[in-house]
Structure 1
Amino acid sequence: MEVKKDISFIVKSLKKGKYEVFLEWLDLNKDKLYRMCFSYVKNNADVEDVFHNTAIKVIENIQKLKSEEAFEKWVISIMLNECRKLLREKKKVLISEEIEVSSEINVLAEQEERMDLINGLKKIDEKHKEMIILKYYSGYSQKEIAEILDIPLGTVKTKLFRGLKMLRDILGREA
């Protein structure tokens, strides 16, 4: 219940022109949003641009929000659109995976496997790659992905299934 009250307060504050509350919400959720955004643009400066543009769009369009409960998904949808817009403008498609530095012997093999996965994802078209990123990198359910992208659940399932099949074919093994 506390979260719903907080979201309601944020939306009402935004509609009244009190942007500080929204900026605090962004700060509280920056890690999750950053990881999702970075997985698209793979550049800290670009992430900052996307965050900035997203904040502006949210502030400018808050009156268009139909349901307070959909606030977070609405913000994420705007952010993903900004990521796509940036990538279109730069004409590059990037995906990222943080590679942790470790002294263990297995690290090189794990890094190589991650790089294979990243390289495999680069070869998949955007609509299928997006489903894999949202599901497996960002942890959203298929239903949440459908809501974020405003597409039918069946479409999400189909694109996710086909994307994983493409990835398996590219990697030549079970993904």
Structure 2
Amino acid sequence: MTKNEKFELVERFLIENQNAHYRIAYSYMKNKENALDIVQDSILKALKSIDSLDEVKYMKTWFYRILVNTSIDFIRKHQRMTVMDGEILDGYLPKSEDEQSDMDLLDALDALTPNEKSLIVLRFFEDLKIEEVATVLGENVNTAKTKLYRTLKKLRLEIGEGI
């Protein structure tokens, strides 16, 4: 496969899945502007390193790894400095009892480390298979399963304490 063919496939993949990419970045950044910056930076990194994509069938996990690592790097650089726009702030104000349980989950997710959050977001919000999650995070499958189980247990304890 030529570099131009690979470039066209990556470009099509990025356009077709732009909402999923934004959702992942937003789950880390908690604001629209930073999430869009992360997606843009990730696309730039992906296009610059297109030669590192050995097999096109792994394009999704290859790009998700770039996206997750870019998000985590941003968080580390800015050490929890998150700007909340009004839309997000409204999302944190529960309007009913049903929404309170959602708030507990959001608070519990925010209490996780970036790597733990990656496990949950990729597995349950992006519906990746555990094998794909392991690939994105650069771990073997058994390690990813163990960490996912431990993180789910931590979430259950965190949510349980809030009740």
Question: TM-score band, normalised by the shorter chain?
Answer: 0.7 to 0.9
- When the two chains are superposed, the root-mean-square deviation of aligned CA atoms in Å is 2.7
Query: Following the alignment from structure 1 to structure 2, what is the Cα–Cα distance between the partners of residues 36 and 9?
Result: 30
Structure 1: tracts of 5 or more residues without a match: 1-7, 100-106
- Normalised TM-score (structure 1): 0.76
Q: 60, 72, 83: which is aligned to 1:84?
A: 72
- For residue 99 of structure 2, the aligned residue among 99, 102, 111 is 111
Percent identical pairs in the alignment equals 24
Instruction: Pick one of 35, 39, 42 that aligns with 1:54.
Output: 42
Q: Aligned residue pairs: how many?
A: 153
Unpaired runs of at least 5, structure 2: 83-87
Name the structure 2 match of 1:12: 5
Give, in angstroms, the shift of residue 154 of structure 1.
Answer: 0.7
In the TM superposition, what whole-angstrom CA distance separates every residue of 1:98-144 from its partner, at most 9, and x where no partner exists? 95xxxxxxx61222111111111222233222211111111111111
Partner of 2:145: 157
Q: Which amino acid aligns with 1:33?
A: H
1:62/1:81 CA distance change after superposition, 3 Å = same
Confirm or deny: 8 A CA contact 2:10 2:59 kept in the other structure.
no
Q: Does 1:129 find its partner at 2:117? A: yes
Q: Which has the larger radius of gyration?
A: 1
SS of the equivalent of 2:49 reads helix
Partner of 2:160: 172
Deviation at 1:11, TM superposition (A): 6.5
